[in-house]
Copies of this chain bind each other. A is one copy, B any other.
Amino acid sequence: MSRPPPHSRATPSAPRPTPAAGALELDAFLPYRLSVLSNTISGAIAEVYQQRFGLSIPEWRVMAILGRYPGLSAAEVAARTAQDKVAVSRAVSRLIAAGRVQRRFADADRRRSILELSAAGQAVYEEVVPQALALERSLLEALTASELEQLDTLLDTLLERARHLSTSELP
């Protein structure tokens, strides 16, 4: 597994210089870097399902979770995709209108929806998933096995930490 040649500033030889203490250097600011990275990657993947199937990001996320866990309710989909219930409601409506998702309601509790991909939805799912995974793979093959594990740990640690921040820092 060969590493690509280092580029403009990807060589860890010179550690990113911390600018004058107390200054905010956007290029070195973790939240900003994460945002740029995330948007760049999501954009690349979105090209796959937006161009070919006219799916929005929330729609694709709903399909992704239903493909793997059929029968969830809208609230469960919202929880699993980290989207709010309004976004899920709208995504589901459009998916039903497009014939990609089927909905029925639970007998025991007629408020609770039961969502599944339709055959057509399943077909889309099975076409998009390999491309999404291929794209992820082509990103990650830049990393060694050890880096991959570091990445995994780092993301978990940071997310864990970030969740505490946003709930505990309220004045």
Contacts and interface: CB of A to CB of B under 8 A. Distances in A.
B47 A38 contact: no
Nearest to A171: B51
B157 A12 contact: yes
Please classify how large the interface on chain A is, using the bins under 10, 10 to 19, 20 to 34, 35 or more: 35 or more
A21 to B, nearest CB: 9
Copies of this chain present? 2
A110 interface: no
A123 interface: no
Contact of A155 (B5, B34, B138): B34
Interface stretch (A63-71, A96-104, A113-121): A63-71
Contact of A31 (B32, B45, B143, B154): B45
